[in-house]
Amino acid sequence: AAGASTVTLLDYGAGNVRSVRNAIRCLGFDIKDVQKPEDILSADRLIFPGVGAFAAAMKVLNQNGMAEALRTYMEKDRPFLGICLGLQLLFDSSEENGPVKGLGLIPGVVGLFDSSNGVKVPHIGWNAVKITKDSQILDEIEGRHVYFVHSYRALPTEANREWISSTCNYGENFIASIRRGNVHAVQFHPEKSGDVGLSILRRFLGSSTPSMGKVIACLDVRTNDKGDLVVTKGDQYDVREQTPENEVRNLGKPVDLAGQYYKDGADEISFLNITGFRDFPLGDLPMLQVLRYTSENVFVPLTVGGGIRDFTDGNGRHYSSLEVASEYFRSGADKVSIGSDAVYAAEAYLKTRVKTGKSSLEQISQVYGNQAVVVSIDPRKVYVKNPGDVEFKVIKMSTPAHHNQVNGGRDGRPIGAYELAKAVEELGAGEILLNCIDCDGQGKGFDVDLVKLISDAVAIPVIASSGAGAVEHFSDVLVKTNASAALAAGIFHRSHSVCERAFAKRRHRSQNMMFECS
């Protein structure tokens, strides 16, 4: 079967469907062409941009068994979008070169526009449609104009009333769109109807609007060799400059930068303390101060990670991870992000399948609620020859690989990213921050295969992280996967104008529809 980011296209070869193809690609989807009836039956979502004449189209569909497959597909209420003739073919019959029998799904006869009403035929032009019921894909277009080009039309009748989702007037009222369950069809051309049309296609494609996903600015923070807490950024997790001094890369002050990203429009801010107080979290007063100061002026959710685990200080006093988390919450954090400790908990859980309730993850989640607990996963690709060679979930990429967890970004652990994600979800994680060591700091885009694997596997929100290098990378990962948010670091540190563009998409998402496709 085609993947979740693939659209199956029924192009029976009667005309130009290039614009439909371009629109689908522009929205970030791949196209799989129907070659045989089975391709229809196995489609995740099917678009049928009918072009040409009714009789000729039905002849082709009947000859190669496609008509039967189409009927079965729609009877099973599978996602379908017919365009223009793709709507008309769903009716009982058409008068075009006929009468000719159609697919017979919707009662009614498709007939020629009545020019005695004083209208020119064919109907070519932009018209507003009147929504008559919840159409799912046409919401918000009432009163907006869409592009029509056709001589034949189906008329609303008592028999087909339940199918009609919108009508249009051109000398007479005709059916502009139908919907029943997941079966949609439109008489107009969404692929030629500007941003209104693209938003219709996007809704059908089930892609939550890319900019609906949150964009999160991440600040990796650590103490440098002089003892200052600075924002740094690694290259595949290596944060030291490639200079003889080999210093920790210093990109600025955490509170200032967080404030800046908030002003620019970031949906959330994450601080990851990547080494600073790993061995003595509550001793790191500067980090707690950073949270206190930041939360005075930043009014979006703040997440803090790094070093959340039980520990015993130099005087032998034991601190539970819950105390560490509580201190973070008191200082202004809304969520804590757990790395290594969640890996140990998941490993133990996978061995015994017993939830002890004692891990940091479980305890914090029980006290503060799972919405306050993020688990940070740091996978690194491991290439395998045969999927059977390893006990972990393997995905086929351009080159095959499975993703192994690297603990807190440091030591490799014998657990796959997929297995880890499933386990921490069961243990009470409310969100997964999915990094990718191979992509970190590379600016070549998110690891879409990895993000898809994990975001399809769990029911909790997944934050895609690592690799953003252009504004388009955000919409790319959000359209092609089930990720709820995209997080980045380097791209924001490098260019202020990028921040404005990336975050502005959130603020003006409808106006940015065309921009995203350019």
**Active site members:** 84, 189, 191, 220, 378
Contact 334, 302 (CB under 8 A): yes
Q: Nearest CA to 222 among 214, 230, 210?
A: 230
Q: Would you give the binding string for ligand 1PR spanning residues 333-372, x where CB under 6 A is met? A: ----xxxxx-------------------------------
Site for ligand 1PR in 395-434 (CB under 6 A): 408-409
Residue 249 CB burial class (10 angstroms; 0-12, 13-18, ≥19):
buried
Distance from C-alpha of 513 to C-alpha of 209, rounded to nearest angstrom: 9
Closer to ligand 1PR at the Cβ: 154 or 288? 288
Q: Please count the residues of this chain forming the interface with ligand 1PR, following the rule CB under 6 A.
A: 33
Q: How far is the CB of 298 from ligand 1PR (least distance, A)?
A: 18
Residue 96 has phi, psi (to 5 degrees) of -65, 115
Distance from C-alpha of 311 to C-alpha of 323, rounded to nearest angstrom: 10
When CB distances to ligand 1PR are compared, the closest residue is 408
Q: Which stretch binds ligand 1PR (CB under 6 A): 112-120, 420-428, 451-459, 461-469?
A: 461-469
User: What distances in angstroms separate CA 481 from CA 127, 338, 447, 457, one per listed residue?
Assistant: 34, 23, 10, 11
- Determine if 268 is a binding residue for ligand 1PR (CB under 6 A): no
Distant-in-sequence contacts of 279-282, Cβ < 8 A, 24+ apart: 279/307, 279/311, 280/311, 280/313, 280/314, 281/306, 281/307, 281/308, 281/311, 281/319, 281/324, 281/327, 282/313, 282/319, 282/323, 282/324, 282/327
Residue 496 has phi, psi (to 5 degrees) of -65, -35
Q: Which one of residues 37, 50, 441, 461 is an interface residue with ligand 1PR (CB under 6 A)?
A: 441
Closer to ligand 1PR at the Cβ: 345 or 489? 489
Q: Which stretch binds ligand 1PR (CB under 6 A): 48-56, 114-122, 171-179, 300-308?
A: 300-308
Distance from C-alpha of 407 to C-alpha of 412, rounded to nearest angstrom: 6
Q: How far is the CB of 405 from ligand 1PR (least distance, A)?
A: 11
Q: Which one of residues 141, 345, 372, 491 is an interface residue with ligand 1PR (CB under 6 A)?
A: 491
Place of tokens 């035929």: 121
Q: How far is the CB of 27 from ligand 1PR (least distance, A)?
A: 24
- Determine if 308 is a binding residue for ligand 1PR (CB under 6 A): yes
- Determine if 375 is a binding residue for ligand 1PR (CB under 6 A): no
Q: Would you give the binding string for ligand 1PR spanning residues 183-222, x where CB under 6 A is met? A: -----------------------------------x-x--
- Determine if 472 is a binding residue for ligand 1PR (CB under 6 A): no
User: What distances in angstroms separate CA 336 from CA 229, 379, 489, 515, one per listed residue?
Assistant: 19, 19, 18, 35
Which residues lie near ligand 1PR (CB under 6 A)?
A: 218, 220, 233-234, 237, 239, 272, 274, 278, 305-308, 337-341, 376, 378, 408-409, 435, 440-441, 465-468, 488-491
